[in-house]
Amino acid sequence: MAVTIYLGNAGDRNSRAAPGAIALGEAIADRYGADIERVGQRVSRVDGGWALQLAVALPNLRRLAAHVAERLDSGGAPVLTLGRCAASLATLPVIASRYPDAAIVWFDAHGDSNAPAADGSTDAGYLGGMVLTGAAGEWRTGLGGGLDLGNVILVGSRDLDPPEQARVDQGQIALVPPGPLLGPRLERAVGGRRVYVHLDCDVMTAGLLATEYQVADGLDWSDLEEAFRVLAASMPIGLEVAEYEAAWPDGEPNDPTRLLAAIAPVLTSLLANR
């Protein structure tokens, strides 16, 4: 059993996520006695639109995709710490190719289902905000597509752009918003399917975790633990955690203790006794 730490870029806007991925991956490995596998190499951060960000990250993202494919094909369960959500452009097409009917449970304050500008402009737009549509093949990423957006379940999302809200309203993507009885509502949305879990730390209500985008009225620790107990019973295929920063902007360390306790049901399912 192993924890994979992704070291490469993925549309980074600051330098705090890469140390966060390392720190969280090491904490998980230490708690479960797992090996650590490191994928990719650090690349200097660049400023620019989504296309430039993708071009810089693409060599490392291809390594990540190959690693996830190898782990799945050898019977392993990927447990990944990713700096930024855009790294999922590499993981989701691989998951979809092996498990086309699995539910992709996407914990995130945002919808991450925008698309490039209709006029073809590449000098604007946030790469991390276009992950799900890229993995679905709605635009060309260089990493493949194949994800069925009908299998995506947004959990805890509350800061949706108008095009993302339209996808939810039209039933293209499911949404389990924050609120009471999160676990039962998530269980109904999963509907007995196997699950692949993506956790963006900004799904938590502002102030609970150090992460780039702090959004009010999100999940608390009991919500997250309730949801992960449900998912642990759904034969999880894998787990990826993104947007965890090693420290707050003022330098105070980000303590992973509560996070590890909340997601323990799925981590135990994936890492214990393997």
State the DSSP H helix or E strand holding residue 265, giving kind and residue range, or none if neither.
Answer: helix 264-271
Domains for the chain: give ranges and CATH numbers. Answer: 2-271 (3.40.800.10)
> Residue 192 pLDDT more than 80?
yes
Tell the residue number behind the tokens 């490392």, with chain if given. Answer: 60
pTM, entire model: 0.96
Question: Is 261 a residue whose pLDDT tops 90?
Answer: yes
What percentage of the chain carries pLDDT values higher than 90?
82
pLDDT band at 90, cuts 50/70/90? Answer: very high
CA dist list (Å): 207 to 52, 88, 96, 102, 254: 32, 25, 34, 32, 11
Which residues fall within 8 angstroms of residue 69, CB to CB, at 6 or more apart? 94, 98
Q: Is the pLDDT of residue 122 over 70?
A: no
Which of 45-49, 92-96, 131-135, 229-233 shows the lowest mean pLDDT across its residues? 45-49
From 87, 93, 103, 41, select the one nearest 72 (Cα to Cα): 93
d(CA 184, CA 190): 10
Say if residues 173 and 111 touch (Cβ distance below 8 Å).
Answer: yes
Instruction: Kindly state the percentage of the chain with pLDDT values over 70.
Output: 97
**Digit-coded pLDDT (tens) for 19-29:** 999 999 999 99
Q: What is the pLDDT of residues 132-173, one digit of tens each?
A: 999 999 999 999 999 999 999 999 999 999 999 999 999 999
DSSP state of 67: H
Q: How confident is the model at residue 63 (pLDDT cuts 50, 70, 90)?
A: very high
Q: Identify the pLDDT of residue 15.
A: 77
